[in-house]
Amino acid sequence: MLLKNQVALITGSGRGIGRAIAHLFAKEGAAVFLTARTEKELAAVAKEISDGGGRPEYATADLTQEAACAHVVATTREKFGRIDILVNNAGHYGPVVPVEEYPLAEFDKVIAVHLRAAFLLSKLALPEMYERGSGVILNISSLSAKAAYAWGSAYAAAKAGMLGLTRVTAAEGARKGVRVNAICPGPVTETQMSKELGAVLAKKMGVSAEEQLAGFLNGLLQGRAQTADEIARAALFLCSEQSTAMTGQSINVDGGVAFY
């Protein structure tokens, strides 16, 4: 098992990519702390994991709120005594509109859930990691941080910001035993966020959802979507002893679109 006796706090773990990461990390021996806003989804994932012999705990939180970030970190420590791994995964896409139509309040919300929460949770987790001399932070960014797609300015800015945060935190933590990396997934079409985005894009483009998806996937070298499980396996690599010499990196798990 690659994460035996590790404690992992995984945000946005009620469904989608976060759920897949929680399942895989639990299977690899980690105690997993789940968090999102929807209690029903968290309870369901926690049950699946405990039914499989894992050790889950969860708390609801809206991570756009500073107090909620503090609550999640405090509750993880209360339940498991420590945080070895922090995965900043929670997020939503936000409005699918051009810059000149983007509502400022929505822009702030998208930045808050992706970038500000990743910053706050890292800030709260790092002192313990530094004191112990070990820890891993993984930021789930996006292909949107590296490519140029219309109608998602806050999302792309937040995801690109997470790559800057990844590098700076990696620089600060590198000689204190802490590694910080990012994953840039391409289209993980099975998730709620991806399905909702696809439907809106298809409508705006005046094509069917199937046509919109086929056009997008055709631009990937592999010509297919990624699965949440494929992202989880990259996350496991970056959060385990398999990648001890890697820090400050952003790894594209996108079927071949971005090449830097």
Ligand X SMILES: NC(=O)c1ccc[n+]([C@@H]2O[C@H](COP(=O)([O-])OP(=O)(O)OC[C@H]3O[C@@H](n4cnc5c(N)ncnc54)[C@H](OP(=O)(O)O)[C@@H]3O)[C@@H](O)[C@H]2O)c1
Active site residues: 155
CB of 131 to ligand X, least distance (A): 27
Minimum CB distance to ligand X smaller for 49 or for 188 = 188
Minimum CB distance to ligand X smaller for 89 or for 250 = 89
Helix (H) or strand (E) holding 86: strand 85-88
CB of 171 to ligand X, least distance (A): 23
Give how far Cα 103 sits from Cα of 63, 97, 249, 260, Å. 20, 9, 32, 31
Q: Does residue 14 belong to the site contacting ligand X (CB under 6 A)?
A: yes
CB of 126 to ligand X, least distance (A): 20
Helix (H, G, I), strand (E, B) or coil at 148: coil
CB of 75 to ligand X, least distance (A): 14
Which residues between 34 and 53 bind ligand X (CB under 6 A)? 36-38, 41
Minimum CB distance to ligand X smaller for 132 or for 217 = 217
Minimum CB distance to ligand X smaller for 37 or for 167 = 37
Q: Give the tokens for residue 7.
A: 């404690």
Contacts within 8 Å (CB) and 24+ apart, 61-68: 61/35, 61/36, 61/37, 62/37, 63/11, 63/35, 63/90, 63/112, 63/113, 63/117, 63/120, 63/121, 64/109, 64/112, 64/113, 64/116, 64/117, 66/120
Per CB under 6 A, which region of 10-18, 24-32, 96-104, 118-126 contacts ligand X? 10-18
CB of 218 to ligand X, least distance (A): 16
| C-alpha angle 144-245-128 in degrees, rounded to nearest 5 | 85
- Of 136, 169, 9, nearest in space to 77 by CA: 9
Report the residue number whose CB is nearest to ligand X.
Answer: 16
Minimum CB distance to ligand X smaller for 129 or for 138 = 138
The 10 Å CB-count burial string (b at 16+, else e) for 220-249 is beeeebbbbebbbebbbbbbbeebeeebbb
Q: Does residue 15 belong to the site contacting ligand X (CB under 6 A)?
A: yes
Q: Does residue 232 belong to the site contacting ligand X (CB under 6 A)?
A: no
Helix (H) or strand (E) holding 50: helix 39-51
Which residues between 56 and 115 bind ligand X (CB under 6 A)? 61-64, 89-92, 113-114
**Residue ranges in contact with ligand X by CB under 6 A:** 12, 14-18, 36-38, 41, 61-64, 89-92, 113-114, 140, 142, 185, 187-188, 191-194
